[in-house]
């Protein structure tokens, strides 16, 4: 008799717990996301905070498994991995896809195109950028969700730049940053890409 009471109580408690979980909770969406940042870099730490914010603001309904340091596929393969379902999200940047379409340079850091990240966000939110980027992404069965902008990419020099006159440089532009607009600012004497 005691065993039956215990079993019935356990069944009732389990039933109540299950109904509370169903009534109070929702199904969890699990996303697999990749970034090229390592967890030790400042940008990697910011990405981890971003993931924590997603989980907090969704009340745990969205769980993100972050893959750092391009640990699933190479950085340049992340877009295709997300488009084909190997990953769910690409947190590397559209600029890696300029080989598919040169317009992807505007989906990454607009090197030389703004003075602070808020200007880039303003273009996306208020200047028609989101629609233009989605038109581009949709052509590859992807959806542009938004930017995560940790700040401008570096423009480094092996020579000190102390005055405007020091800015007469020759800059090799990588495929990621081959933004021809930077060459029109007058301080760069020769722009060329890597082959």
List, for residues 44-57, the tens digit of each pLDDT value.
999 999 999 999 99
Contact 160, 166 (CB under 8 A): yes
Contact 96, 39 (CB under 8 A): no
With H, G, I as helix, E, B as strand and everything else as coil, classify residue 118.
Answer: helix
Residue ranges of the domains in the chain?
A: 27-138, 164-193
Whether residue 126 has pLDDT greater than 60 = yes
Residue 170 phi/psi, 5-degree rounding, is: -110, 125
Q: What is the pLDDT of residues 92-125, one digit of tens each?
A: 888 889 899 988 888 877 766 777 778 888 989 9
Interior angle at CA 104, CA 78 and CA 48, nearest 5: 45
The tokens describing 92, both together, are 């590397």
Q: Which helix (DSSP H) or strand (DSSP E) does residue 82 occupy? A: helix 78-83
Compute CA 48 distance to the chain's CA centroid, rounded to the nearest angstrom: 12
Task: Report how far residue 10's alpha carbon sits from residue 27's, in angstroms, rounded to the nearest whole number.
Answer: 25
Q: What is the CATH number of domain 27-138?
A: 3.40.190.170
The tokens describing 124, both together, are 């996306």
Q: What is the pLDDT of residues 134-181, one digit of tens each?
A: 999 999 999 999 887 766 566 566 777 677 666 655 555 544 444 444
Q: What's the predicted TM-score (pTM) here?
A: 0.65
């Amino acid at each position: 008799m005691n065993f039956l009471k215990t079993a019935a109580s356990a069944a009732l408690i389990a039933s109540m717990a299950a109904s509370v979980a169903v009534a109070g909770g929702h199904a969890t969406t699990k996303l697999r996301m990749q970034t090229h940042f390592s967890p030790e870099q400042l940008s990697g730490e910011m990405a981890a905070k971003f993931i924590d914010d997603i989980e907090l603001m969704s009340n745990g309904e969205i769980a993100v498994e972050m893959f750092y340091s391009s640990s699933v596929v190479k950085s340049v393969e992340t877009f295709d991995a997300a488009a084909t379902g190997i990953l769910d999200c690409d947190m590397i940047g559209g600029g890696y896809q300029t080989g598919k379409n040169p317009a992807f340079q505007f989906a990454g850091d607009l090197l030389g195109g703004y003075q602070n990240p808020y200007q880039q966000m303003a273009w996306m939110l208020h200047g028609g950028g989101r629609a233009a980027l989605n038109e581009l992404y949709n052509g590859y069965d992807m959806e542009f969700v938004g930017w995560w902008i940790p700040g401008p990419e570096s423009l480094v020099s092996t020579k000190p730049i102390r005055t405007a006159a020091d800015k007469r440089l020759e800059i090799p532009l990588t495929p990621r940053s081959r933004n021809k607009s930077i060459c029109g600012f007058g301080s760069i004497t020769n722009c060329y890409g890597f082959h």
